[in-house]
Amino acid sequence: MQIDRIEETRLSGGDEAAIISLLGRSFGTDFGGRSFYMQRHHVRLVLRDPQIVGHMALSLRAIRLGDALVDIVGLAEVATDPDRRGEGIATRLMDAAIAEARATGADFFVLFGDQPLYAASGFVARSNTLRFVELDGARTGQVQEAKRGGLMVLPLGVVAWDSDAPVDLLGHLF
């Protein structure tokens, strides 16, 4: 099994089609024929054996944590072929994703989810109030401000996460 790092601008038509198919099998929807939920990402990590059987997408962005502007890597579209679950595919991809996030120099690795894999990888649940732009059907919606379950954070450097500070994602969820 091989993990490939694919920059979004280098995503081939064949790999994009394979990711669309994988997401459809994993989530029960093909997101309208897209290889992403609401917005393209910066980097895709895929595990091949020999076809794509696992996928994670990473997005680099600046957010506000209280008054501080911090860099984060966001994790999205975590998918493993349903017929291949339990083989350690997501764990191998998560290890690669954490290494990729650390290489960016970002302050934090952030995701929305509650799978045991995330806590086992060092992510900690947080309950900050979030501000974000709602996207529905790849269309811009209203600005939302609320506590939202599933926020998990992995510090990547020396900056400490302020659990009491409001978080402004300066855009959409990932």
Quick one: pLDDT at residue 3?
Answer: 97
Provide the 8-state DSSP code for 161: P
Quick one: pLDDT at residue 30?
Answer: 79
How many separate domains does the chain show?
Answer: 1
User: For residues 65 and 167, is the Cβ–Cβ distance under 8 A?
Assistant: yes
pLDDT tens per residue across span 59-91: 999 999 999 999 999 999 999 999 999 999 999
Integer angstrom CA distances of residue 154 from 83, 97, 99, 105, 108? 29, 12, 12, 13, 6
- Residue 25 pLDDT > 90: yes
How would residue 38 be classed by pLDDT, with cut points 50, 70 and 90?
confident
Average pLDDT, the chain: 95
Integer angstrom CA distances of residue 81 from 12, 30, 73, 154? 20, 14, 24, 25
Amino acid at 118: Y
Q: Which domain holds residue 60?
A: 2-172
**pLDDT (mean) for 129-158:** 93
Please spell the DSSP secondary structure of 118-131, one letter per residue: HHHTT-EE---EEE
The CATH number covering residue 16 comes to 3.40.630.30
